[in-house]
Chain A
Amino acid sequence: MDRAEVDSRIRALIEPFNKKGVEVSDETTFAGDLEFDSLTVMDFVAAIEDEFDIIISMNQQAEIENYGQLVDNVQQLTEG
């Protein structure tokens, strides 16, 4: 799957969680810009895992701070 497709699918998934309608770019951070709390993170991660049939463990999540890193990680995982 190319990066653009991963990006567009995650963009669709993030919408219901993006309550403030923040404009999402690769630099957008989950904690800072999107103000995701830990419960939101869990639900959002579960949605991505189910969409791509992958696991993003909490250990991996700890390394992901912004949207671009998430897309890169998911792309790698779908290739694995």
Chain B
Amino acid sequence: MSEGISQADRPQALEAAGEPRDLFSKFDEIIAQREGLLASGVEDPFNLVMEKVLSPTRAICNGRDTILLGTYNYMGMTFDPEVIAAGKDALDNFGSGTTGSRVLNGTYQGHKEVEAALREFYAMDHAMVFSTGYQANLGIISTIAGKGDYIVLDIDSHASIWDGCKMGDAEVVPFKHNDIAAMDRRLGRIPEGAGKLVVLEGVYSMLGDVAPLKEMVAVAKKHGAMVLVDEAHSMGFIGPNGRGVAEEQGVIDEVDFIIGTFSKSVGTVGGFCVSNHPKFEIMRLVCRPYVFTASLPPSVVATAATSIRKLMHGGNKRAHLWENSKRLHGGLTELGFTLGTEEPQSAIVAVIMPDLERGAAMWEALLKEGLYVNLARPPATPAGMTLLRCSLCAEHSSEEVETILGMFERAGKAVGII
């Protein structure tokens, strides 16, 4: 159902004959599924190795020259010369790592600079950088919503959101994906006086669909709830300044916390939260996933800061990325594939497969054509779907998108999906 919900609701009856049960017995079902898939002769979709990376859109994968269409490298910043130069410079001048927590010896000039870049990018008062995007959600959600508070969240939320809910011990109340009325009803039933946090995403990464944030944020505010929006998949290209879906829909000023990542459009690794809350800085002392881990290496924060500042002026790249998304979405629809959304809503185009077996076969056929996409399957996907998830890059040329469509056509016909 969702990346975060462990599916412990089925009896684990797959005990191998003669093998004693131990703590690993709970994984027998998934071990059997994986072995079954590999026995069919398909290349392991979850063990791909990139031997050489040629550009943001090309790599040698399992020995083949491959177009990358499943990297979340939306703005193609990974090989930007200025970004790389900033990283090299930081390596030379600040060393390979900080060996410390942000609150002890792990805050370097670069960490302050990347936080300044984020404040400027989002035009917000506070920015706090975490070592990964996962930790940003884990840390902020678990710290602000504790025992006795209520978290109302979309059922298709990312694993890091679910894990943050669990860690904080708040009452967790999910609602049906993007269902404004269901969210409204749940908020209305929360006992008076209880703290309320609504958690939403701008773009949901599995189907690439966008949330009706304008309506949802209004409903949350009507009930006096704080709102956190994860904009991991929209930063850099959705909204007039690339601030995300909340900006695009005109409600960014009503959002209390925006969570984001450096591992997608920014092109490195790390996570962050930006906010205008006057007491936000106290998070640095009370948020355990921020305190009890080492800070990002100097080269990483230097590349992130340079990349974020360049994304502020990425208008042309943004326009080309949208053209790519529209062309791929339209082309795949014409070919007869079933997609996750009727219209292109983001840089993610999800192709729905009839089942895991044919999904894996299609994935392999595409790889042999020279195209890498993500194979996504339950429990990471909604409603038990198997998806081939394509994420476009601003550096994909228009010709490459046509090449990709040709690959999909041949692979789809070979596997019998179209």
A59 with B171, Cβ < 8 A, contacts A42-B176, A46-B182, A53-B189 known: yes
Residues B10 and A57 in contact, CB atoms below 8 Å apart: no
Residues B11 and A38 in contact, CB atoms below 8 Å apart: no
Most chain B CB within 10 A, of A37, A39, A54, A55, is at A55
Residues A42 and B174 in contact, CB atoms below 8 Å apart: yes
* Given contact pairs A39-B1, A42-B155, A58-B173, a sample of 15 additional A-B residue pairs in the complex whose CB atoms are under 8 Å apart: A32-B11, A37-B7, A37-B9, A39-B383, A42-B1, A43-B176, A46-B182, A50-B185, A53-B189, A55-B171, A55-B173, A55-B186, A55-B190, A57-B171, A57-B173
Residues A31 and B10 in contact, CB atoms below 8 Å apart: yes
Please, how many angstroms separate the alpha-carbon atoms of A23 and B174 in the complex?
A: 29
Please, how many angstroms separate the alpha-carbon atoms of A31 and B8 in the complex?
A: 9
Query: B340 to nearest A CB, angstroms?
Result: 17
Residues of A19-52 at the interface with B, using a CB-CB cut-off of 8 Å, are 30-32, 35-39, 41-43, 46, 49-50
Residues of B189-225 at the interface with A, using a CB-CB cut-off of 8 Å, are 189-190
Residues of B287-321 at the interface with A, using a CB-CB cut-off of 8 Å, are none
Please, how many angstroms separate the alpha-carbon atoms of A8 and B234 in the complex?
A: 47
* Other-chain contact of A46, B5, B176, B190 (Cβ < 8 Å): B176
Query: A4 to nearest B CB, angstroms?
Result: 24
Closest to A43 in B: B176
Query: A45 to nearest B CB, angstroms?
Result: 9
- Residues of B near A50 (CB, < 8 A) are 185
- Residues of A near B175 (CB, < 8 A) are 46
Closest 5 CB pairs of A and B: A57-B171, A58-B172, A31-B9, A55-B189, A38-B1
- Residues of A near B182 (CB, < 8 A) are 46
* Other-chain contact of B384, A30, A35, A39, A58 (Cβ < 8 Å): A39
Quick check: is B363 within 8 A (CB to CB) of the other chain? no
* Other-chain contact of B189, A38, A39, A49 (Cβ < 8 Å): A49
- Residues of A near B186 (CB, < 8 A) are 49, 55
Residues A38 and B9 in contact, CB atoms below 8 Å apart: yes
Most chain B CB within 10 A, of A37, A38, A43, is at A38
Query: B233 to nearest A CB, angstroms?
Result: 23
Give B contacts to A, CB under 8 Å.
Answer: 1, 5, 7, 9-11, 150, 155, 171-176, 182, 185-186, 189-190, 379, 383-384
- Residues of B near A41 (CB, < 8 A) are 9
Residues A59 and B10 in contact, CB atoms below 8 Å apart: no
- Residues of B near A55 (CB, < 8 A) are 150, 171, 173, 186, 189-190
Query: B148 to nearest A CB, angstroms?
Result: 11
Closest to A53 in B: B189
Residues A38 and B173 in contact, CB atoms below 8 Å apart: no
Please, how many angstroms separate the alpha-carbon atoms of A63 and B386 in the complex?
A: 31
Query: A32 to nearest B CB, angstroms?
Result: 6
Please, how many angstroms separate the alpha-carbon atoms of A38 and B7 in the complex?
A: 7
Query: B6 to nearest A CB, angstroms?
Result: 9
Closest to A61 in B: B172
- Residues of A near B171 (CB, < 8 A) are 55, 57-60
Residues A58 and B11 in contact, CB atoms below 8 Å apart: no
Residues A31 and B383 in contact, CB atoms below 8 Å apart: no
Residues B189 and A36 in contact, CB atoms below 8 Å apart: no
Please, how many angstroms separate the alpha-carbon atoms of A28 and B243 in the complex?
A: 50
Closest to A36 in B: B9
Please, how many angstroms separate the alpha-carbon atoms of A53 and B185 in the complex?
A: 8
Closest to B190 in A: A55
Please, how many angstroms separate the alpha-carbon atoms of A60 and B173 in the complex?
A: 10
Most chain B CB within 10 A, of A31, A35, A37, A57, is at A57
Query: A46 to nearest B CB, angstroms?
Result: 7
Closest to A32 in B: B11
Residues A57 and B176 in contact, CB atoms below 8 Å apart: no
- Residues of B near A46 (CB, < 8 A) are 175-176, 182
Please, how many angstroms separate the alpha-carbon atoms of A39 and B9 in the complex?
A: 11
Please, how many angstroms separate the alpha-carbon atoms of A41 and B176 in the complex?
A: 12
Closest to A39 in B: B1
Query: A67 to nearest B CB, angstroms?
Result: 15
Can you report 20 residue pairs joining A to B where beta carbons are below 8 Å apart?
A31-B11, A37-B1, A38-B1, A38-B7, A39-B1, A41-B9, A42-B1, A42-B174, A43-B176, A46-B175, A49-B185, A49-B189, A53-B189, A54-B189, A55-B190, A58-B171, A58-B172, A58-B174, A59-B171, A59-B172
